[in-house]
Amino acid sequence: MKVLLLKDVYKLGRAGDVKKVADGYGRNFLIPQKLAMLATPGAIKQAEKIRQSALTERTRLNQEMGAVAEKLQAVSLTFIARAGETGRLYGSITTGDIAAAIERETGIHVDRRHIAHQPLRDLGTYKVAIRLTVDLIPEITVLVKSEGEEEKAVEAAPAPAEPASPSV
């Protein structure tokens, strides 16, 4: 089925594009969500008008979200989780966990579906992309540490020296 996209659709195309999609995808998702319409000859004539209006809307959104993107770019999150000796987590750090941590740290609400990363299942440092708009995708740094690492760091730090008492 050929459809004319009315809005930008992630991993499919931009508004005004004519795309060939599976019948069920077009009929059950794109058309009911008002993301696309059937690509009839009359609709294709409107494609340029749709492209222009989508371009102005995309530009406006990018300007609004630019400050949010800069703020998110500077965010660094640290998660403490239980892990085995190999560095594999017993659970995982999900996109929902990351979204909640971003909201706690910055006050910016990010939908978990806009975080473009699989759940984190190993210790380490990760760059996680967040899709604010089609063109604006800032990356945040996520550090996953083991519960034991923090305790070891505290033990390894030398204790403050006590003042020497005069011996009698």
Residue of 163 and 140 predicted with greater confidence: 140
Tokens in use for 74?
A: 């500077």
Residue whose entry in the numeric block shows the structure tokens 């017993």: 90
Residues 71-85: pLDDT tens digits?
888 889 999 999 999
* Token pair in block for residue 31: 């058309």
Q: What is the pLDDT of residues 34-49, one digit of tens each?
A: 999 999 998 888 888 9
> What CA–CA distance (Å, rounded) separates 50 from 39?
13
- Domains of the chain, earliest start first: 2-45 (3.40.5.10), 69-156 (3.10.430.100)
Torsion over CA of 12, 14, 19 and 25, rounded to 10 degrees?
Answer: 50
